[in-house]
Amino acid sequence: MQLFFSSLSALVLLHLALRVSAHGFPTSVTIDGKQYNGANGADASSDSPMRKVSTGDPVTDVTSNNIICGQNAATASTDATAKPGSKLQFYWKGEAGTNWFHTTGPIMTYMAKCEGDCTSFTPSSSTQWFKIDEQGEKNGATDSWAQANLLSGAPANVTVPSTLAAGKYLVRHEIIALQNSQSEGGAEFYPSCLQLTVSGNESGTPNTTVQFPGAYTQSDKGILGNFYNPGTVYVFPGGPVAQLTGGGSSSGSDSSSSSASPSSSSSSSSASASPSSSVPSSTESASGSSSASPTASPSSSPSETASSSSGTEEPASSPSSAASPSTAAPSATSSSSGRCSSSKKRRLSRRAAPEAVESEGNASTENFRVVRLRHNRRFSASRH
């Protein structure tokens, strides 16, 4: 008999120990690789951004204010920091320091804007919460839940919405254990709250919100029922995951799009004077000579200069063509290069054969005399 009672006492103590270890809370959170110790547990910190609860016992009354942040949750003295898109990792433990024990039920996370500083903000039934994450059955299998991953000490991973507006928030991270949910009041709720300051330039706001108490009822499909039945499709309580609207940081694209488009910029740049085309063309047109062209020889002969200044050479462009750089430039270049080539040939011929120049000059003089003699004869005949 004594042996029987000893064995019974051992079983009771074991059962109580299992119940205590099955009750718990998140003992730390890691945000983008930075760890914050929780306010409960063996490594509890007095300046934790997580709100401290009086016990790891579950909340079973969904109409109680304890459903917001846990049993008698107290404000924390500091905030953790994050940005849109940050990864939050919540590590859950039993009150006795063991790994999390339950395996069936969802993990859900909500956020709410603090009214003022989170360190002095106490949420009420009018506080607006929006769901950012929900994890339930893995691949639709009723015998495998995301919560079961916590048994090995793995964290529950949550991502801050990528377009969430900057500000001070409470993050309500919660496990619902459904092993006793076959009757009303049997579901166990383990809510917790993290104070978080979100930085950045985003402006997203949720399209739907809920309130606690009020988001759950004891008869919700995701709270009351036998969730061990094969083929059961789980329906999450607390509304859908919110969609953020009006998000996205300003990149200045609106102001830049009102500027000239690439095609108009190209057009304006082509209309601008280029050093090799419109500038020499306009200068030549104004002066009537090719002396402004970079290809003109500074040692042009007097006869060439006189010919140009007298207007015997046709101007490179008319006033109408000068207005169009694309037409004026080729004509100026062609005319200038033609005169330069002619001048160069004459200079080379003079240096190579001076006697040819002299012969040419003598021939010119002789031709002049013949012309003059003919003129005198015609004049004399007309007088007679």
State the pLDDT at residue 172: 99
Of 353, 360, 317, whose CA–CA distance to 335 is shortest? 317
pLDDT digits (tens, 9 = 90+) for 83-93: 999 999 999 99
Q: Which residue has the higher pLDDT, 322 or 71?
A: 71
How does the average pLDDT of the chain come out, rounded?
A: 74
Read off the pLDDT of each residue in 8-25 and give the average, rounded to a whole number: 53
Specify the range with the lowest mean pLDDT, choosing from 121-125, 161-165, 330-334, 372-376.
330-334
* Residue 268: pLDDT over 60: no
In angstroms, the CA 212 to CA 110 distance is: 11
> In the prediction, which pLDDT does 227 show?
92
Structure tokens at 368: 């002049």
383 three-class SS: helix
DSSP bridge partners of 80: 196
The model's pTM: 0.62
Residue pair 106/157 in contact (Cβ under 8 Å)? The answer is no
Helix, strand and coil percent figures for the chain, each rounded to 5: 35, 20, 45
Give residue 367's pLDDT. 54
Given CA atoms 352, 353, 354, 357 in this order, what sign does their dihedral have? negative
Q: Could you give the CA distance from residue 107 to residue 73 in angstroms, rounded to a whole number?
A: 19
Beta strands in the chain (DSSP E): 24-31, 34-37, 80-82, 87-94, 107-113, 130-135, 137-138, 141-145, 156-159, 167-177, 188-198, 205-206, 244-245
The answer to whether residues 162 and 84 touch, using CB atoms and an 8 Å cutoff, is: yes
SS3 96: coil
What is the tens place of the pLDDT at every residue in 348-360?
Answer: 444 444 443 344 4
Residue pLDDT, tens place only, 54-75: 999 999 999 999 999 999 999 9
